[in-house]
Chain A
Amino acid sequence: NAGVTQTPKFQVLKTGQSMTLQCAQDMNHEYMSWYRQDPGMGLRLIHYSVGAGITDQGEVPNGYNVSRSTTEDFPLRLLSAAPSQTSVYFCASSYRDRPLETQYFGPGTRLLVL
């Protein structure tokens, strides 16, 4: 198993550009989520999905869009990048309805918006 994979590892954008951060998992996990990590703030939930076709907002959803057309993939779209979206983004996955199950994290995508 490759686990949770994220691409790209690093990206530089100009303000106003759009892009998609890719996340994929091969563990047949129903639950997938996106977090952003900023210094001194821990990780904050952006969006999550409990299964294909179902998504919902987390704590900081503004400026981001998600979709879940397959169980394996959960892309995060930045519609119009802003410097405030400079961050490290982590994707995570786990089985649904198993609150004690380990949640697996990807290696992260470091995004710089100029």
Chain B
Amino acid sequence: AQSVTQLDSHVSVSEGTPVLLRCNYSSSYSPSLFWYVQHPNKGLQLLLKYTSTATLVKGINGFEAEFKKSETSFHLTKPSAHMSDAAEYFCVVTPWNTGFQKLVFGTGTRLLVSP
């Protein structure tokens, strides 16, 4: 079965410092991987997605993620945190072999950004 593990439930950073949110995946097939963000009391917004054409994926708002098959990881990074980045982030996997998107969510990482 496909699954993702988000290694940190909370990450705290100072504004202007780098952000690292960790995600490991488990999949028997070549997976599709996504990062979604949820701001307080809002719906989910797609940050970026892994399309298997490039291991380094760039998303919105300066975020990027690197797919590492050897480590089964898809960590999310940003060089410099902004106060508006404070939100909950979900790593998501969907198996390639299905004809539709049955998204499997990680448990989420709450990013706290202090001034």
Q: Which residues on A are within 8 Å of B, measured CB to CB?
A: 31, 33, 35, 40-45, 48, 50, 58, 90, 92, 94, 96-97, 99-103, 105-108
Of the listed stretches B12-20, B61-69, B72-80, B105-113, name the one at the interface; the rest are far from the partner chain.
B105-113
Is B114 an interface residue, CB under 8 A from the partner? Answer: no
Q: Which residues on B are within 8 Å of A, measured CB to CB?
A: 9, 32, 36, 42-46, 49, 51, 90, 94, 96, 98-108
The answer on a CB contact under 8 Å between B100 and A43 is: no
The answer on a CB contact under 8 Å between B94 and A99 is: yes
The answer on a CB contact under 8 Å between A40 and B9 is: yes
Say what secondary structure dominates the interface of chain B.
loop
16 contacts between A and B (CB under 8 A): A31-B100, A33-B101, A33-B102, A33-B103, A40-B9, A43-B44, A43-B105, A45-B102, A45-B103, A48-B100, A94-B101, A96-B99, A99-B100, A100-B32, A102-B46, A102-B49
- Taking CB atoms, residues of chain B closer than 8 Å to A42 are 90, 105-108
- Taking CB atoms, residues of chain B closer than 8 Å to A92 are 103
A107 CA to B9 CA, complexed, in Å: 23
A105 CA to B42 CA, complexed, in Å: 10
- Taking CB atoms, residues of chain A closer than 8 Å to B49 are 100, 102
- Taking CB atoms, residues of chain A closer than 8 Å to B43 are 90, 105-108
- Taking CB atoms, residues of chain A closer than 8 Å to B104 are 45
- Taking CB atoms, residues of chain A closer than 8 Å to B45 are 105
- Taking CB atoms, residues of chain B closer than 8 Å to A44 are 105
Q: Smallest CB-CB separation from A91: which chain B residue?
A: B43
- Taking CB atoms, residues of chain B closer than 8 Å to A94 are 100-101
